[in-house]
Each structure stands twice: as structure tokens, then as C-alpha cells.
């Protein structure tokens, strides 16, 4: 009975994460007209952040964390960390900055991948340019690769308003 309950929980968690993380997004093109309008707050929805899912049956990948920090100069610092249960050949994270357009979270610029070799813990940060008057968040994929095993988990950071 416990096994059936665990399967139901994992299925529900996976579906919930999929709906929240992979909600409609679009990539911003330079010169987009909607960038000149301040969109309404994303907090009118029932989204609670940060969100994420890491498979509890992972052999190596334990957890990941991503933070977005307003530097006050139209840049943000994205801090990322990934933890493994033991040393792996490669451990890291891929982060994508997203901006709330008033209807969807749109990917901004290109994703950044950082990694470390032969370790159980990885931590790094990257700085990105942002626009005032918009909400930003980070979608991150934390991963390990060792031998023939590749595991990953997805996180979405809290969102912040750039003033």
C-alpha cells in the first residue's frame, strides 16, 4: 500500500511541477514592443515560489538551489548550487533568466551553464543585465554526470521586481 501511495505522490508532484515550471513561455527578441509597458504583477496568480522537483530515487543528485539577487544597478546576480550524495565526474547547473511579460514568463537572453569536475558539491554565480519595472526569476536545471548515469532536477527561483 505504501508503494502505491509513493507512486501517486510522485506522479502528482511531477504533474504539478510540469504545469508550474513549463507554463507558456516565449523568448524575448530585441526590439520587442511589449518591453516598453510595465506588466501586472505575477503574484495575482496562485504560483508559490521557489518550486522544484528532484526525484527521490536519484542515485547521486541530492538537491539544487538557485537565488536571484537585485544588485540595484539594473543587473542581477544568480547564485546556483548543486549537491550530490557522493563524488561524481561532473556536477553543475544551467540557469535561464526569465521576465514576466504580464501573461507569461519569457526567457531572456541565453542560458548559462556552469560546472565542476570530480566533486560532490558545486557553487557558482553569474551576473545578468535586466530592465527596471519588471519581475524576473530564474529557471534552473541542476545535474550530475558520472559513468553512464545522468540525473537532473529543475528549480524555479522566487521572482523579484527590479526597481
Is residue 136 very low, low, confident or very high in pLDDT (cuts 50, 70, 90)?
very high
Going 6 to 54 to 137 to 83, the CA torsion angle's sign is positive
Whole-model pTM: value is 0.72
pLDDT at residue 144, rounded to an integer: 98
Query: CA distances (Å), 124 to each of 27, 38, 80, 110, in order?
Result: 25, 31, 6, 17
Amino acid at each position: 500500500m505504501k508503494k502505491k501511495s509513493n507512486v501517486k505522490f510522485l506522479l502528482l508532484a511531477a504533474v504539478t511541477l510540469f504545469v508550474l515550471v513549463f507554463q507558456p513561455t516565449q523568448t524575448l527578441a530585441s526590439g520587442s514592443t511589449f518591453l516598453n509597458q510595465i506588466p501586472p504583477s505575477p503574484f495575482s496568480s496562485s504560483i508559490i515560489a521557489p518550486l522544484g522537483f528532484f526525484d527521490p530515487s536519484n542515485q547521486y543528485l541530492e538537491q539544487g538551489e538557485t537565488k536571484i539577487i537585485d544588485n540595484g544597478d539594473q543587473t542581477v546576480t544568480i547564485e546556483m548550487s548543486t549537491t550530490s550524495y557522493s563524488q561524481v565526474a561532473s556536477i553543475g547547473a544551467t540557469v535561464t533568466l526569465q521576465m514576466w511579460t504580464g501573461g507569461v514568463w519569457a526567457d531572456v537572453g541565453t542560458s548559462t551553464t556552469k560546472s565542476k569536475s570530480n566533486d560532490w558539491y558545486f557553487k557558482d554565480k553569474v551576473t545578468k543585465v535586466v530592465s527596471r519595472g519588471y519581475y524576473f526569476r530564474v529557471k534552473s536545471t541542476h545535474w550530475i554526470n558520472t559513468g553512464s548515469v545522468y540525473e537532473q532536477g529543475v528549480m524555479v527561483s522566487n521572482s523579484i521586481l527590479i526597481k
